[in-house]
Amino acid sequence: MDKKDTILLAHGGGGSRSAELTRGLFQRFLRDPLLLEMDDAARLPGRPGAVFTTDSFVVRPLFFPGGDIGRLAVCGTVNDLAVMGAEPLWLSIGFIIEEGFPVAGLERVLASIARACREAGVRIVCADTKVVERGKADGLFINTSGIGRPAFRRPVLAGRARPGDAVLVSGPIGLHGVAVLTARGEFGLETRVRSDVAPLWGLVKTCRLLDVPFMRDPTRGGLAQTLNELAQGRPFGVRIDEASLPVPRDVAAVCDLLGLDPLQVANEGKVVMVVSARDAARALRLLRRQRLGRGARRIGEITAENRGRVVMATRAGSERIVMPPAGEILPRIC
Amino acid sequence: MADTKLNRLAARLRAFPARPGTRFMEVCGTHTVAIRRAGIQKLLPDGVRLVSGPGCPVCVSPDRLIDEAAALARQGAVITSFGDMLRVPGSRTSLDRERAAGADVRAVYSPLDALAVAAASGRETVFLAVGFETTAPAIAAAALKARERRIANFSLLTALRLVPPALAALVAGNTELAGFLLPGHVSAIIGKPAYEFLAERGLPVVIAGFGAAEIVSSLLLLLEMHEEGVQRIVNNYPGVVRDGGNERSRAVMAEVFAPADAEWRGLGTIPLSGLELRPAYADLDARRRFRIVAEAAPARKGCRCGDVLRGRIDPPACPLFNKACRPDSPVGPCMVSSEGSCSAWVLYG
């Protein structure tokens, strides 16, 4: 990146512009080997070791069908730990509150945070609050960090994936992104879509004894982003099957209308899992027994072909590549 | 169920005995994306190719429009626009860069939202009126509403374009096209009669929906007509498109706008292919209301968006394609717009 450039919203969109910001700027100054692994969380050395992560939340609107910024802040960090195969234990939380924010709103958020912590089985053990002048923040920003303990029998490392391994997703996709988009009321669309925001450890731990080389929660950038992170730079490809993708009807309808690709829409309570061929059927059974995994499906597999790429067999009997979104996702004009 | 139908149609398409060298154009950017998302271009029988047309509003807008909008933003106006336009590079800047530098640029989802911004902010608010016959009626309705509610600080920077005159210009200079896949949404407004000149020129045309099955069945109709030498306009999207179009929308559009010569990227100036505010609504015209000082736009070096928009070349034939020009750092508008054919080629292969 050039010194004369300025930061654009697209740099925060999670796509290739974000990657450019990370590689072209942050990694020039912050070069810890654990950070450079670019995982959802860092595996701290030692035995039994720990997993450590952080995330900031700036969602608009703060309250949306199925959740709110508080629930999101707990689940986001808990899930980043869970997909590293770690049991989430302790969280820190920091609030940046805009002057004039209603106490009643804050109370709602805090109640939701407490509820999400109980659900996830984590404790918030340190916290911080800052208030900034009106106009210096959009209502409320939250940061959470979390520490977890590795609990999977075999390490969750994408490099261990092999051709033939199954790619699973734990349920219907696109719910969070569509719920938040339509809750903004900007499209005059009404749907019954509710965000799927939920803590995932209870679900993924059922597979802790199986051979699971990769797990990730497909949040910003959706399945397209997550599957590309899985494939990029690896000696294998990923092939998914459009007909097996669980896209709810309402999600498909909104995406059609706005010209969005459901594969690129955010989820906050789903996990993508790569499971060895031998354990795949077992993993599906275990996931489906859980409330959050009832809609779990096998959506594709790891392939020896198409190294580093994600390919989708389409319903029309053709195929296409799946790319990560490039920056802000913008609805089309007509 | 639907999938078996799609599979059956796809199998028929693959096996269709077509004449070699048959080229059809899908006019609309939404079709381009739908075709590539479903991989339909790979199901075409040997000898048949699809080329993308000029039906992407972002792609055909000239650089000057962005330069004008950026100049207005610097002069202190609130710029409202469909999100698609924000990343489009003008000759020196783009609206998202202006926003990062402090200009008040807001993405809206409808012209009425832009009007609401004007009412709430009390500041001069300009809406970038971009699009085809699909969006023009809604923009006209917003203009009428601004009048009715006496919102005096709202104006339009217009770059609206009409589809039929562009198609007429295309076929006048190009005899290689064997038929058109026509845009469903635009056709819902203008109806079948607007395309009669194409059938008269001996070209079969099909108004198509946007689902994979609807596109494949429309391509089959095109192939059949082409084989049999039939030149007809088929409405293959009857659930949405009435043959006569939508008269009320056209009336609203005609009340506010009048056709005018307009510049298209790649196609040059086409007679009566754009819409401008009628004299009775001249006070809503941002170009009359403000003295816009926009620098002259130098030509974009190496970018071949113009040839892509005319169906002259496929995107990979452009020297910048997926090298200097990528979806995350676009040079030309065909790479910026989610509907642009260059972007669709990169994103879906």
Question: What is the CATH number for A198?
Answer: 3.90.650.10
Which pLDDT band, with edges at 50, 70 and 90, does B83 fall under? confident
Q: Which residues of A touch B131 (CB under 8 A)?
A: 333-334
Q: Looking at the predicted structure, is the pLDDT value of residue A64 above 50?
A: yes
> Do residues B68 and B294 lie in contact, with contact meaning Cβ atoms separated by under 8 Å?
yes
The mean pLDDT value for A173-184 works out to 92
| Half-sphere CA count of A245, side-chain side, radius 13 A | 21
- Judge: A243–B339 Cβ closer than 8 Å, yes or no: no
Lowest mean pLDDT among A40-49, A60-69, A122-131, B75-84: A40-49
Residue appearing with tokens 């829409």: A265
Q: Looking at the predicted structure, is the pLDDT value of residue A286 above 50?
A: yes
* Co-location of A141 and A180 in the same domain: no
Q: Looking at the predicted structure, is the pLDDT value of residue B219 above 80?
A: yes
Q: Which residues of A touch B132 (CB under 8 A)?
A: 334
DSSP letter assigned to residue B109: S
Give the count of beta carbons closer than 10 Å to the beta carbon of residue A300. Answer: 25
Which pLDDT band, with edges at 50, 70 and 90, does A295 fall under? very high
* Co-location of B226 and B325 in the same domain: no
* Co-location of A78 and A139 in the same domain: yes
Q: Which backbone phi and psi does B327 adopt, to 5 degrees?
A: -55, -30
Q: Domain count for chain B, please give it.
A: 2
Confirm whether the ipTM is greater than 0.90.
Answer: no
Q: Looking at the predicted structure, is the pLDDT value of residue A199 above 70?
A: yes
* Co-location of A176 and A195 in the same domain: yes
Kindly give, in sequence order, each residue whose CB lies less than 8 Å from that of residue B184, ignoring residues fewer than 6 positions away. B28, B207, B208, B209, B210, B237, B240, B241
* Co-location of B342 and B233 in the same domain: no
Distance CA B297, CA A332 (A): 25
* Co-location of A117 and A165 in the same domain: no
Domain annotation covers residue A71: yes
* Per-residue model confidence (pLDDT) at position A324: 87
Distance CA B266, CA B309 (A): 6
Chain B within 8 Å of A241 (Cβ-Cβ)?
no
- The parent domain of residue B309 ranges over 305-348
* Per-residue model confidence (pLDDT) at position B297: 65
Laid out side by side, the sheet with B154-161 consists of B105-108, B78-82, B125-131, B154-161, B268-277, B257-264
* Per-residue model confidence (pLDDT) at position A329: 60
Q: Domain count for chain A, please give it.
A: 2
Q: Which residues of A touch B212 (CB under 8 A)?
A: 314-316
* Per-residue model confidence (pLDDT) at position B1: 44
Residues in chain A: 334
Q: Which backbone phi and psi does A274 adopt, to 5 degrees?
A: -105, 125
Burial of B148 (0-12, 13-18, 19+ CB in 10 A): exposed
* Per-residue model confidence (pLDDT) at position B2: 52
Distance CA B340, CA A332 (A): 10
- The CATH number of whichever domain residue A57 belongs to comes to 3.30.1330.10
3-class secondary structure per residue, B197-238: HHHHCCCCEEEECCCHHHHHHHHHHHHHHHHHCCCCEEECCC
* Co-location of A119 and A247 in the same domain: no
Q: Looking at the predicted structure, is the pLDDT value of residue B315 above 90?
A: yes
Q: Looking at the predicted structure, is the pLDDT value of residue A334 above 70?
A: no
Beta pairing partners, B177? B23
pTM of the predicted structure, to 2 decimals: 0.86
* Co-location of B149 and B63 in the same domain: yes
Distance CA A185, CA A188 (A): 6
Kindly give, in sequence order, each residue whose CB lies less than 8 Å from that of residue B70, ignoring residues fewer than 6 positions away. B90, B92, B93, B94, B95, B98, B103, B294
* Per-residue model confidence (pLDDT) at position A239: 98
- Judge: A316–B349 Cβ closer than 8 Å, yes or no: no
The mean pLDDT value for B207-225 works out to 96
Which residue among A125, A150, A175 closes a domain?
A150
Which residue among A98, A119, A150 closes a domain?
A150
Domain annotation covers residue B3: no
Which pLDDT band, with edges at 50, 70 and 90, does A174 fall under? very high
- Judge: A331–B84 Cβ closer than 8 Å, yes or no: yes
* Per-residue model confidence (pLDDT) at position A289: 98
* Co-location of B41 and B143 in the same domain: yes
- Judge: B339–A321 Cβ closer than 8 Å, yes or no: no
* Co-location of B91 and B123 in the same domain: yes
* Co-location of B323 and B214 in the same domain: no
- The parent domain of residue A132 ranges over 39-150
* Co-location of A139 and A170 in the same domain: no
Q: Which residues of B touch A188 (CB under 8 A)?
A: 109-110
Structure tokens at B276: 């401008």
* Co-location of B238 and B324 in the same domain: no
